Chains A and B, each alone.
Chain A
Amino acid sequence: MARQEPKERRRILKFEDVSLVFEEGPPVLDGVSFEIWSGETRILLGAAGAGKTVMMKIALGLLRPTKGKVYVFGEDVTGFDERKWFDVRSYIGVLFQEGGLFDSLTVEENVAYPLLNQARFMTEGRKPTVDSVRPDVQEALNFVELGETLSKFPSELSGGMRRRVGIARGSVTDPELFLYDSPTAGLDPITANTIITLLIKDRALRNTTTAIITHRFQDGHLLANFRYNPESQRLEKLPAGSPFLERTKFMVMQEGRLVFEGTEAELAVSQDPYISKFSMHPATKVS
């Protein structure tokens, strides 16, 4: 399950002056450029309607930019048609805002869905069976501590449990890049922390490059300052000066523009009135 950290870091996602304009209204995304390298974690902050989810959908090929270029795993995917995107997407895990689980399928069928439908898991054009993928599904559900819910339907689960099933579905294919859209939105602080702990654990065990859209600075703070220790099976704070601290970067979106990109320390000292709303005074930070 665990993936070794590659010796050479590679560019996983790159936006080059990407804009998106719908027929009416101002641009939803306006000249956004950034790069995410393997092993990095990106925290994407911003007010509602700032363009965070749109950016994620462009990275997944669900929306097509009107200007600029998008590179995924080093390849220019800007002009890709839906069929080419299916192959790219099979290496990207995604958690949608409300989980995006299929109501009509059981938890097991939801988690098995990518394994049963993605071309890279087919052998000689044949789809795997539910029985053949069950061990992987069970492992993914055990990882999110929902191993007993295989036969349940999403409507029988709480909001936090649905997100955890969504994480299991996203991670069951062992993706190289995992995109999370507001994984803690609308959850109580305890459940939210459980979800973030899972994200940190997933990042550590699979060495997945991670991008997270969130409204909560606390989520970013935990991701930036803590790591999962597989031996003690607990989160532990990164020591000062650890190279891993530099691996988590924050980005702030405002009305379709990327107005900040940097480390937590740089975010904390920003004097911009909008950007500083997404940081926390050092004295009150979560320890």
Chain B
Amino acid sequence: MLAGRATANIVRRPFYGQDLILQMDMIGVGSLPITVLIGFFSGVIMALQMSRALSQYGATGQVGQITAITLVREMGPVLTALLIAGRNASGIASELGSMKVSEQIDAMRALGTDPVKKLVTPRLLAMCVTLPLLTIIADFVGLIGGYMVAVPLLRLTTGSQYWNNAWRSLEYNDIAQGLLKPFLFAIIIALVGCLYGMRTSGGTQGVGKATTQAVVVASVWIFIVTAVITRIFVNL
């Protein structure tokens, strides 16, 4: 019901453009440093782990290919989504939960504003726009991390071979699932955060409980959805 109302509100007046920009700034720009950091180290770790395995088969030149496929298909979207779930699903749930227990949501309704339109829709839209963008950035920075390990550090391959392999290994299928997943994760994170926030009861203790539940539930759904999407794309 919340998803339906939040989506229907996208095309209904009035539009809260300022709230949307504010949320995009908080979720997108606010999460950028940590996303870059996590993305970079994902690539570094992936290249380090693969260097040992590939050297056994004399295929160290394929490190770019493996790093790119792993990052774009799975690690980039899932790690970024888990990070954003920890950072923003909790933030949304605690903010909305605090508003609920301090009667600000009731006040909003009493003063003529639909809280779903004012609070949920901008967060949902902002998340759907920023999470795929953050995932693309994480993927790219991860590839740079993999390059740093594979080329200057361990000298497993040359720079041109690394980038050439990474680029050629990616198919439309990989790009499609690498963008579809963060879009679906964005819906999960925003709606779970908002739902638990708006259902908060029981004072400050309830806010803490709602925040924890939002992160746990969003994380579990991220893993379920990624498994389902991967299963579908494996068969394509």
Contacts and interface: CB of A to CB of B under 8 A. Distances in A.
Pair from one complex: yes
Interface of A: 57, 60-62, 82, 85-86, 89-90, 92, 94, 96-98, 100-103, 113-114, 117-119, 125, 127, 169
Contacts of A85: 109
B112 A114 contact: yes
Interface residues on B, range: 10 to 19
Cβ-closest 9 pairs across A and B:
A100-B107, A118-B112, A100-B103, A96-B103, A114-B111, A94-B110, A117-B112, A86-B112, A117-B113
Contacts of A169: 111
Nearest to B98: A103
Nearest to A82: B114
5 contacts: A60-B109, A82-B114, A102-B107, A103-B99, A114-B112
B106 interface: yes
B102 A98 contact: yes
A181 to B, nearest CB: 9
Contacts of A90: 112
A94 B98 CA distance: 20
Given A96-B106, A102-B104, 14 more contacts: A57-B106, A60-B110, A62-B106, A62-B109, A82-B109, A85-B109, A89-B112, A94-B107, A100-B103, A103-B99, A114-B111, A117-B14, A118-B112, A169-B111
Contacts of B110: 60, 62, 89, 92, 94, 96, 100
B13 A96 contact: no
Interface of B: 13-14, 98-99, 102-104, 106-114
A254 B111 CA distance: 29
A101 B108 CA distance: 9
A102 B107 CA distance: 9
A85 B115 CA distance: 14
A98 B103 contact: yes
B104 A103 contact: yes
A260 B86 CA distance: 52
A100 B112 contact: no
Contacts of B102: 98, 100, 103
B74 to A, nearest CB: 37
Contacts of A102: 99, 104, 107-108
B213 to A, nearest CB: 20
A117 B110 CA distance: 11
Contacts of B104: 100-103
Contacts of A86: 112, 114
Contacts of B108: 102
Contacts of A57: 106
Contacts of A117: 14, 111-113
B22 to A, nearest CB: 9
A89 B106 contact: no
